[in-house]
Amino acid sequence: MLKVTIDNIPIDVEDGTTILQAARMIGGKVVPPAMCYYSKLKGSGGKCRTCLVKVAQSSAKDPRPIPKLVASCSTPVQDGMVVQNLTSPEVVEARKAIVEFLLLNHPLDCPVCDQAGECDLQDLSFGYGMEETETVEERREFPATDIGDKIKLHMNRCILCYRCVYAADQITGKRVHGVLYRGDVSEIGTLIKQAVDNDFSGNMIDVCPVGALTDKTFRFKSRVWFLKPMNAHRDCPACAGKVTAWLFGEEIYRVTGRKDQYGELEDFICNECRFEKKDPGDWIIEGPRHIKRQSVISANHYERMKKQSIILPIAGKMEDQF
């Protein structure tokens, strides 16, 4: 077992644990936000840089700090490592900078985006973003496209986390989409006009941290905070059949996988469960699902927002979200 201290809280973890995983074991405020890391997708992480933390002491053997901030999702813990997340002003500054970069070309079209209310970027911006921006540059714009008859791609909103690429690689049989081109014009795409069409493609929607990939069967039907999430299951030959059914009245508006407090699916579900089974009779409803990770809008935080340039997460805005 290795001993690691994160924001002054010690914990013993197994060899090979990353800083982020260790922080999640502690839970609460010490957990750095993660936009691209996804524990169930091999190879994910390291790209968005929102989970950067300060390593104040590398290990018991080598007490020197690591000069640069490190991505907590991909840095393994060493015995005696001392990590600072919110206790390091440097980390908070860097995270604000990352949010500014992520929002630089983001359309901020939350009012018409289906992801609003359960969007990781929205939460992150609320925690670390600025109210005003210095940029006067035009935003980069991509036309919206369909990839398959059930999935809409809004490349404008994409933060290039690569999660959907890993998901297609690892849980669907054949990957037909990927990251094309490079630099600030890189995009998620198929290059040739073709549908992302296989039984598990819908999981790309669930792993997307933003509103880049949305469910066309649910498009513009309702804001998520008006829906009642219910745990439901069915006997499905293709997947575990355990889902969250989102009800409006007695009607099922959409079906998603069951997400944990970090927005990660407990089980990947098949497209039939997700897109085809919208009749309450298809499901055995277990009861209301407690959404552990409350999002910005359902927490109704906007009322408390004051005109100030930066909302400091340390000041205690983030903690009651967990």
Partner 1 sequence: MNKMMEQNNIVNHRQFAPEGRMVAFTPEVLQKVRQLIQRYPEGQQKSALLPVLHIAQEELGGYLSVDVMDYVATLLGIEPIEVYEVATFYSMFYLDKMGNYVIEVCRTGPCSISGGEKIMEHLQEVLRVKPGETTPDGLFTLKEVECLGSCGTGPVMQVNTGYYEHLTPGRVDRILEELKENANNNKPDGSSWVEKFC
Partner 2 sequence: MGGKILLANIDVPGIRGFDVYRETGGYKSVEKALKEMTPAMVNTEVTKSGLRGRGGAGFPTGLKWSFLDRKTDRPRYLVCNADESEPGTFKDRYLMQHLPHLLIEGLIISSYALGVNTCYIYIRGEFKYLVGILEHAILEARDHGFLGERILGTDYSLKIFVHPGAGAYICGEETALLESLEGKRGNPRIKPPFPAFKGLYGCPTVVNNVETLAAVGPIIVMGGEEYAKFGKGKSTGTKLISACGNINKPGVYEIEMGLPVEDFIYGAAYCGGIKGDKYLKAVIPGGSSVPILPADLMLSTAKGERRLMTYESLADGDFATGTMLGSGGFIVFDEDACIVRNTWNLAHFYRHESCGQCSPCREGTGWMEKVLFRIEHGQGKLSDIDLLVRISKNIEGNTICPLGDAAAWPVASAIRHFRREFEFHVEHPEAVKHINHGALPVSALP
- Can you give the binding site for partner 1, defined by CB under 8 A? 137-143, 155, 174-182, 185, 187, 189-193
Angle at 132 between CA 127 and CA 137, to 5 degrees: 120
Position 285, amino acid: I
Stretch that binds partner 2, among 91-99, 204-212, 253-261, 288-296 (CB under 8 A): 91-99
Question: What does the alpha-carbon distance between residue 119 and residue 184 come to, in Å, rounded to a whole number?
Answer: 22
Buried b (16+ CB within 10 A) or exposed e, 37-75: bbbbbeebbbbbbbbbbbbbbbbeeeeeebeebbbbbbb
Stretch that binds partner 2, among 26-34, 54-62, 72-80, 231-239 (CB under 8 A): 72-80
Minimum Å gap between C-beta 136 and partner 2 is 8
Q: What is the DSSP letter of 76?
A: B
For partner 2, the binding residue among 25, 176, 179, 240 (CB under 8 A) is: 179
Write the DSSP string, 13-30.
Answer: E-TT-BHHHHHHHH-GGG
Stretch that binds partner 2, among 96-104, 198-206, 281-289, 290-298 (CB under 8 A): 96-104
Minimum Å gap between C-beta 221 and partner 2 is 31
Q: Give the max Cα distance, the chain.
A: 61
For partner 2, the binding residue among 32, 33, 45, 313 (CB under 8 A) is: 45
Is 71 a binding residue for partner 2 by CB under 8 A? The answer is: yes
What pairs with residue 52 in β-bridges? 71
For partner 2, the binding residue among 182, 193, 304, 306 (CB under 8 A) is: 182
For partner 2, the binding residue among 52, 153, 230, 270 (CB under 8 A) is: 52
159 binds, among partner 1, partner 2, none (CB under 5 to 8 A by kind): partner 2
* Beta-strand relationship, 2-6 and 81-84: parallel
Q: Pick from 72, 117, 65: which is nearest to 94 by CA? A: 72
- State which residue, 184 or 303, has the beta carbon closest to partner 2: 184
- State which residue, 192 or 315, has the beta carbon closest to partner 1: 192
